[in-house]
Amino acid sequence: MIATIGTFDGIHLGHQYLLTKIAEMAQARGTQSLAVTFHPHPLEIIRPGRAPKMLSTVERRVTLIRSLGIDIVHIINFSESIRELSALEFVTRLKASYPGLTTLVIGYNNHVGTDRFTTDGHVADTATALGVDIVHIGKAPTEASSSAIRKCLSECNITAANAMLGREYSLPGTVVKGRGIGHTLGFPTANIKPADERLLVPGNGVYAATVEIDGERHHAMVNIGSRPTLDNSDEITIEAHLLDFSDDIYCRDVELSFSAFIRHERRFDSLKTLRAQLSNDKHSVLRHFNTINTKQ
């Protein structure tokens, strides 16, 4: 068995490079591949005040890892006791759970245990003690990091975030009851509550997105923000105006996938001006998707 370890939040191109290598190595050797990941994010235990917003739910992470050809995904409940393990202790536990483990691949800029495999000698001693080859793999050809993706999303740079993810950033959630103001403006919206409050919501503004409902994808104009023209609330809302769908989806689970950023949120002098801008935004979203369809 060949294994690797990481938080793998978002499964960006760097993660994909490592995990694909693991799957290929295992297949070539006629053995199984294993990805060990953590939940919650280690910083939620180590430094709760500095824990980052997540780029995916743990369920989505497992699905994405498996889609890369990994046979087994092992989720470790990160805790203080796990945090205190040395590299040798951690790998010893892993070997006990998976006796067939022969190779552990450590990704670029990744670490194991409190002592983090600090030297080559440390790696060699651990490998000798456990009978496990420990291999470090280099950087992926394409630069990507979870922290850089979070920064891009927070700054509304959907294009750069999606490029590092290798797919559109998605946000699962549930449609909840709203105030119905969008309907009075002529732009009825589905108000979406993220599936987990720890998920990262992109920066305030208007986006071209798709909304997946029961496996079907629908184009949408999505507004994220505090609705400064209407009530300037401290609460951030996610409102999706579906362009080709009008059924009642209250209480339904959906998934937003962000395709393009249209404009930043701002306050308008009147509802009439806001309505006119929403009409312009809708045309921008339609042009975006028409351009995509033309290229395909």
User: What is the domain partition of the chain in residue ranges?
Assistant: 2-136, 169-295
pLDDT 10s digits, 166-179: 999 999 999 998 77
CB-facing half-sphere around the CA of 220: CA atoms within 13 A? 28
Chain centroid, CA 271 distance in Å: 35
Q: List the one residue out of 142, 135, 147, 180 whose CA is nearest residue 163.
A: 142
User: Stretch 194-203: mean pLDDT, rounded?
Assistant: 96
User: Stretch 37-65: mean pLDDT, rounded?
Assistant: 94
Amino acid at 93: R
Residue 241 has pLDDT above 90, yes or no: yes
Residue 185 has pLDDT above 80, yes or no: no
Predicted local confidence at residue 180, as pLDDT: 66
pLDDT 10s digits, 209-220: 999 999 999 999
Predicted local confidence at residue 81, as pLDDT: 93
Residue 57 has pLDDT above 80, yes or no: yes
Q: What is the mean pLDDT of the chain?
A: 91
Residue 19 has pLDDT above 70, yes or no: yes
Task: Tell me which CATH homologous superfamily contains domain 2-136.
Answer: HUPs (3.40.50.620)
Structure-block tokens of residue 222: 């999505």
Residue 119 has pLDDT above 80, yes or no: no
Fold annotation for 169-295 = Elongation Factor Tu (Ef-tu); domain 3 (2.40.30)
